[in-house]
């Protein structure tokens, strides 16, 4: 057999292998699902909202969380929480939205710094999402809604029934360079 004929035979064998491998890969999906169904392994069950219950929430206690917002004196922004207080149970995930407005005609960069009251509260205040994690750049006259998602740890001392989360925005524009 000449070299061209040998190459043709090899090409056909390689194409057959590729087709068989592709078919095998496609066949594995229903095969895997059937094995999981028979053995009960890796079965995903959709839980309805009524069934979903966070067992980490302490329903025997209610905590009042107060929200405060201030601006450093040199910063011409308006900043306020949508609500001043909410009631939650320890372990319950909650969200508060703050509104911030750059009242100037130029872009500015700000950074929010949290503080807690009483001082011990910071140890139990767990933020999952927060605008304070990053610097915020607001365009001229821009208003933005900024959420903070949090929960209060279940191990909060029983005598603490009210916590305050306070943010202060500081002007960081000079530190990052003029954005206007």
Residues belonging to the chain: 180
Closest CA relative to residue 59, chosen from 105, 81, 93, 92? 92
Model-level pTM?
Answer: 0.65
Per-residue pLDDT of the chain (180 residues; tens, 9 = 90+): 789 899 899 999 999 999 988 888 787 777 767 766 666 554 444 445 444 455 588 889 999 999 999 898 778 999 999 999 999 999 999 999 999 999 999 999 999 998 888 888 888 888 988 998 899 999 999 999 999 999 998 889 999 999 999 999 998 888 876 544
Instruction: State how beta strands 77-81 and 125-130 pair.
Output: unpaired
Strand-pair partners of 115:
166
């Amino acid at each position: 057999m000449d070299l061209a004929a040998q190459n043709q035979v090899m090409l056909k064998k390689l194409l057959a292998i590729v087709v068989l491998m592709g078919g095998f890969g496609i066949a594995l999906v229903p095969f895997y699902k059937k094995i999981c169904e028979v053995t009960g392994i890796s079965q995903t069950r959709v839980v309805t909202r009524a069934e979903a219950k966070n067992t980490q929430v302490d329903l025997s206690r209610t905590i009042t969380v107060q929200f405060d917002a201030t601006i450093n004196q040199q910063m011409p922004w308006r900043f306020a929480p949508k609500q001043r207080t909410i009631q939650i149970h320890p372990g319950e995930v909650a969200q508060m939205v703050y509104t911030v407005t750059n009242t100037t005609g130029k872009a500015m960069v700000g950074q929010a710094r949290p503080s807690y009251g009483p001082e011990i509260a910071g140890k139990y205040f767990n933020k999952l999402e927060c605008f304070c994690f990053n610097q915020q750049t607001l365009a001229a006259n821009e208003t933005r809604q900024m959420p903070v998602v949090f929960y209060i740890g279940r191990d909060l001392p029983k005598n603490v029934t009210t916590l305050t989360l306070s943010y202060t925005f500081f002007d960081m524009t000079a530190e990052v360079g003029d954005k206007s």
